[in-house]
């Protein structure tokens, strides 16, 4: 297949030659108009292969968007290729698959989830948390209230409470916090608290001593059912992530959490994100 461009027509005009075409030549409407304006004629070049090859080899194609569009349209109409072939050729299919695997990053700092019972001990009977910011996971919010964490070695003040209340109190800290407090850092998924260290939580009105419940959050991906289906991921799967940038890395052991109320997000803790050069506007890619 050969395309006649405006440039070729101007060249033909300058050389005072006709343009040779055959059944495999596409003359775009624009090229045809320019030829007419410049009195350049088209001649049957089926028996003039040499001339044609020379033209193709010496001409550089500079096509306008309209020309490209018309060529592709003609190509499809003449069944040179299908739309599907074009998508494959342009890598659109791969692009679709890749884009589904690129997901946003959510970064968590230290925070506390409280049971209703513990909230009342720390802040008083029938106390309700005051939301100040909604989090990406639907229904979750950062509250105005904070607590103090007291470990065997030291304390950390102003630790944010994430609402609403849960069935069990859980304290999520960073690895460096564990060292500061004098606790062993235990990396776990939310809710998996057996055998984790305890801590003392101090509120405005009272104190709670936990026997267990302090974790360093294990990285994970949240999805809802549909997002899981689209990506062929189910609850409990473990995948790898690829990150980009100067500190790019492949991350193993990323747990998949599919829930009705999930929101597409990859949760990393603040320290991991810092180590990888990621922030809350970053994206990562699921690789399998
Ligand atoms: Zn999470």
Over the chain (288 residues), the average pLDDT of each successive run of 10 is 79 84 80 82 70 50 81 88 79 69 95 98 97 93 98 98 97 98 97 97 98 97 94 95 94 93 91 96 92
Are residue 146 and residue 66 in the same domain, yes or no?
Answer: no
10 alpha carbon – ligand 1 mean position (Å): 63
Q: Return the structure tokens found at 216.
A: 């360093």
Is there a contact between 104 and 98 (Cβ–Cβ < 8 Å)? no
**Nearest in space to 67 (alpha carbons), one of 2, 11, 152, 4:** 4
13 alpha carbon – ligand 1 mean position (Å): 68
189 alpha carbon – ligand 1 mean position (Å): 8
Which phi and psi (to 5°) does residue 136 adopt?
Answer: -65, -35
Round to the nearest angstrom and report the end-to-end CA distance of the chain: 40
CA distance 39 to 33: 10
220 alpha carbon – ligand 1 mean position (Å): 6
Let me know if residue 6 belongs to a domain.
Answer: yes
Q: Is 131 helix (H, G, I), strand (E, B) or coil?
A: strand
Are residue 78 and residue 127 in the same domain, yes or no?
Answer: no
User: Where do runs of H (alpha helix) occur along 184-279?
Assistant: 225-230, 270-276
- Note the pLDDT of residue 237: 96
- Note the pLDDT of residue 183: 98
**Nearest in space to 239 (alpha carbons), one of 224, 212, 221:** 221
**Nearest in space to 6 (alpha carbons), one of 19, 17, 23:** 19
- Note the pLDDT of residue 104: 94
**Nearest in space to 281 (alpha carbons), one of 226, 244, 249, 254:** 244
Number of independent structural domains in the chain: 3
Is this prediction's pTM over 0.85? no
- Beta-strand pair 214-217/187-188: parallel
Domain limits for position 261: 100-105+219-287
215 alpha carbon – ligand 1 mean position (Å): 13
Let me know if residue 269 belongs to a domain.
Answer: yes
196 alpha carbon – ligand 1 mean position (Å): 18
Are residue 134 and residue 157 in the same domain, yes or no?
Answer: yes
Let me know if residue 161 belongs to a domain.
Answer: yes
Are residue 136 and residue 211 in the same domain, yes or no?
Answer: yes
Are residue 162 and residue 251 in the same domain, yes or no?
Answer: no
CATH of the domain at 276: 2.40.40.20
Are residue 141 and residue 206 in the same domain, yes or no?
Answer: yes
Are residue 172 and residue 184 in the same domain, yes or no?
Answer: yes
114 alpha carbon – ligand 1 mean position (Å): 16
18 alpha carbon – ligand 1 mean position (Å): 69
104 alpha carbon – ligand 1 mean position (Å): 12
Are residue 211 and residue 237 in the same domain, yes or no?
Answer: no
- Note the pLDDT of residue 52: 46
Let me know if residue 75 belongs to a domain.
Answer: yes
Let me know if residue 250 belongs to a domain.
Answer: yes
């Amino acid at each position: 297949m050969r395309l006649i461009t405006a440039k070729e027509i101007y060249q033909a005009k300058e050389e005072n030659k006709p343009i040779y075409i055959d059944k495999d030549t596409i003359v775009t409407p624009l090229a045809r108009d320019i030829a007419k304006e410049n009195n350049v004629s088209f001649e049957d070049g089926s028996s003039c292969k040499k001339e044609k090859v020379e033209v193709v080899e010496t001409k550089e194609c500079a096509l306008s968007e309209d020309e490209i569009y018309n060529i592709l349209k003609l190509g499809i109409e003449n069944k040179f290729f299908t739309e599907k072939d074009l998508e494959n050729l342009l890598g659109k299919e791969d692009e679709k698959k890749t884009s589904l695997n690129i997901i946003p990053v959510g970064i968590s700092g230290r925070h506390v989830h409280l049971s209703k019972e513990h909230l009342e001990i720390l802040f008083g009977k029938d106390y309700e948390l005051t939301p100040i910011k909604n989090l990406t996971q639907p229904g979750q919010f950062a509250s105005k209230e904070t607590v103090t964490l007291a470990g065997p070695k030291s304390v950390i003040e102003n630790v944010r409470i994430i609402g609403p209340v849960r069935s069990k109190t859980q304290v999520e800290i960073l690895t460096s916090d564990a060292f500061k407090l004098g606790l062993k850092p235990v990396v776990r998924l939310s809710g998996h608290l057996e055998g984790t260290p305890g801590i003392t939580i101090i509120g405005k009105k009272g104190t709670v001593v936990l026997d267990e419940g302090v974790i360093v959050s294990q990285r994970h991906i949240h999805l809802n059912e549909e997002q899981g289906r689209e990506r062929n991921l189910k609850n409990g799967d473990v995948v790898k992530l690829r990150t980009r940038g100067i500190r790019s890395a492949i991350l193993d052991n990323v747990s998949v959490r599919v829930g009705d109320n999930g929101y597409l997000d990859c949760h990393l803790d603040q320290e991991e994100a810092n180590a990888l050069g990621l922030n809350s506007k970053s994206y990562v890619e699921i690789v399998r």
